[in-house]
Amino acid sequence: MMLETEVFEIEPDITVVSCAGRFTLGTQLRLTESMINTLLQQGVRKLVVDLTHTEIVDSAGLGVLMHIFGEMEQLGGEMRVAGANQRVAKMFHVTHTDGILVLDPDLMASVKNLKPDSIKN
């Protein structure tokens, strides 16, 4: 299944990018990265990347997630990754990125963990 994304807001200041399909090298991944970069330029500082319906993340997809995480840190924002399935969670573990990215079991946990005072000014 090709990568599909949906963007929506939860609360007035939390933006969710929900991904479904394969978070892998290709045009759709580049478009998703560009769309998220645009969100950051528009002032989004609390972001959840929801991988609940994502089948697989490859090295290119991991690179995009790490890039977005770095951008959010530089902007003083916070990014969380929600709902990684067992296969995706294993990839985070094997690459030791589970110690860098903030992973939550589901979307609601990510939203709960993005507290109103979590933005660093």
Flag whether 100 is in a domain. Answer: yes
Flag whether 53 is in a domain. Answer: yes
Flag whether 50 is in a domain. Answer: yes
Flag whether 121 is in a domain. Answer: no
Number of domains in the chain: 1
Distances (CA, A) of 1 to 11, 19, 22, 28: 30, 11, 6, 11
Flag whether 48 is in a domain. Answer: yes
Q: What is the pLDDT of residues 67-95, one digit of tens each?
A: 999 999 999 999 999 999 999 999 999 99
Note the pTM of the prediction, 2 decimals.
0.93
CATH code where residue 91 lies: 3.30.750.24
Question: In terms of residue numbers, what domain contains 62?
Answer: 4-113
Confidence of residue 1 (pLDDT cuts 50, 70, 90): confident
| Strands 103-104 and 78-82, bridge-based pairing | parallel
CA 68 to chain centre: 8
- Among 53, 44, 36, 51, which residue's Cα sits nearest to residue 14? 44
Flag whether 119 is in a domain. Answer: no
